[in-house]
Amino acid sequence: MIEQPKPARESWVVLLVDDEPEVHEVTRLVLSNAHYAGRPIELYSASSAAEAKNFLRAHPQTALVLLDVVMESDDAGLALVRFIRDELHNADLQIVVRTGQPGMAPERDVVLRFEVNGYFLKTEITAQKLHSIVISALRAFRNIGALRRPRPAAAASAERDLRQDALAAGFARAIEQGELHLLAQPEVALASNAIVGIEMLPTWKSGEGILGLSQIASAVRDPELRLRFDEWLLRQAGAWARSWRALHPSLRISLPMLTASVWDCEVLSVIDRCLGESAPFAGAIDLEVPESALLHEHAGTREGLAFLQAREVTVTVVDFGSGMVSLPVLRRLRPDRVKIHSSFVRNVAADAERSAVARSIIALAHTLGAGVVASGIASESDLQFFKWEGCDVGQGDLLARSVALADVAALLSAKASATH
């Protein structure tokens, strides 16, 4: 039975047509919580060409079909391609053929005779490759739609650009005039219930309201401006690290860097300069980088991490589990910690799929000698799950609420008294 899309939600509709249940399970896991261009990717399933026809008649907004060739008949998939192109007259819909039986439909014949946008063997598709295939297809679908839109869309695009420029200019002024604010999100050791770290979370009262980290990251695309923010954040961390040292000599201060590639030479130079000026205690500073920053690992990445390690700066890979970083890359880079993506944290105790993913991440990280942080723990059952599985650190209001930086000292004192 095909799930029906939620009509009120703007999303990329992707239809998977395959008669193998395990293909649906794996694909759904890979694309869970996936987004492109700010919109979620919604995956729907059909186990036959007949089901797919009914779905596509009812949902012409479908952007992509991931299609098996051999289903109820040897050519069921290719017959569906003809139906889409010739009967529905839908030339925009992206069709990617995935087959486990290449002899039934050789690639050259399929690509030349049928209007398909990609052809792959199931055996050659890794999780990372599947993610890339889907994103590339959605990009092509969006570009085709942009070409078909009337000129007023260009005016809307120009308006968005002006808004983006205004936000960036306002953010630059906020840095210069000290109008950014920082909240402290405690990191709590699950074994002892002691605070072991503070994550500094920026907020900005802009003309469009109060923006948090994710909104700031979306609004600020200019690399130079991002680096200016990172430098400001590093200086703030150094100053506060010194003020908290007497209360907690080993406290770790985690910084969500806007510049994902913290190992670029220019970024490393800024980090080195700020550390030299602030001179926080050893091991105090932790840089948070997204998992996506590791996808294009190269020699400079390894050299940059070695540079940071030499200065006793740790690195935490955040939103872990949402990307496609391979095990060999993790073995080479060996980050100090990984932070499990929140989608695998909330309700983990009640969801077999989430618990399996979370359990695997914890085991993998510990095998590589990395610590694990679970962010967004909101219930006692989830807290007990992560304690039982040996997760090192947790975050969330259940453990300790976010506070202003000025209140951290009192929080550290109170927490220390409560744990003794």
- pLDDT value of residue 48: 92
Across residues 326-340, what is the average pLDDT?
82
- pLDDT value of residue 150: 61
Tell me which fold the domain 164-419 belongs to.
TIM Barrel (3.20.20)
Is pLDDT at 112 greater than 80 in this prediction?
A: no
Across residues 23-52, what is the average pLDDT?
91
12-148 and 164-419: identical CATH topology: no
162-191 pLDDT per residue, tens: 777 788 888 899 998 888 999 999 999 999
Is pLDDT at 303 greater than 60 in this prediction?
A: yes
Q: Angle formed by the axes of helices 380-388 and 352-367, to 10°?
A: 40
Residue owning tokens 């990984």: 338
- pLDDT value of residue 42: 94
Across residues 103-116, what is the average pLDDT?
55
- Between 149 and 358, where is the model more confident? 358
Q: Where are the domains of the chain?
A: 12-148, 164-419
The three-class DSSP label of residue 257 is coil
228-244 pLDDT per residue, tens: 999 999 999 988 888 88
Enter the tokens of residue 92.
């925009």
- Say what percent of the chain tops pLDDT 90: 37
Is pLDDT at 317 greater than 80 in this prediction?
A: yes
Are 291 and 320 spatial neighbours (Cβ–Cβ below 8 Å)?
Answer: yes
Handedness of CA 218, 221, 223, 227 (dihedral sign): negative
Q: Which of 370, 291, 382, 318 is nearest to 345 (CA)?
A: 382
- Say what percent of the chain tops pLDDT 70: 86
- pLDDT value of residue 43: 95
Is pLDDT at 153 greater than 60 in this prediction?
A: no
Is pLDDT at 107 greater than 50 in this prediction?
A: no
- pLDDT value of residue 416: 64
Q: What DSSP string describes 169-229? A: HHHHHHHHTT-EEEEEEEEEETTT--EEEEEEEEEEEETTEEE-HHHHHHH---HHHHHHH
Q: Angle formed by the axes of helices 21-31 and 127-148, to 10°?
A: 70
Are 316 and 255 spatial neighbours (Cβ–Cβ below 8 Å)?
Answer: no
Enter the tokens of residue 368.
């590589």
Is pLDDT at 141 greater than 80 in this prediction?
A: yes
Environment class of 385 (CB within 10 Å of its CB; exposed 0-12, middle 13-18, buried 19+)? buried
- pLDDT value of residue 329: 74
Residue owning tokens 């602030």: 278
Are 403 and 184 spatial neighbours (Cβ–Cβ below 8 Å)?
Answer: yes
Distance of alpha carbon 149 from alpha carbon 267, whole angstroms: 40
Is pLDDT at 390 greater than 80 in this prediction?
A: yes
251-283 pLDDT per residue, tens: 999 999 988 777 788 889 998 888 887 666 667
- pLDDT value of residue 1: 46
Query: Hey, what CATH class is 12-148 in?
Result: alpha beta
Q: What DSSP string describes 64-95? A: EEEE-S-SSSTTHHHHHHHIIIIIS---SSEE
pTM of the entire structure?
Answer: 0.61
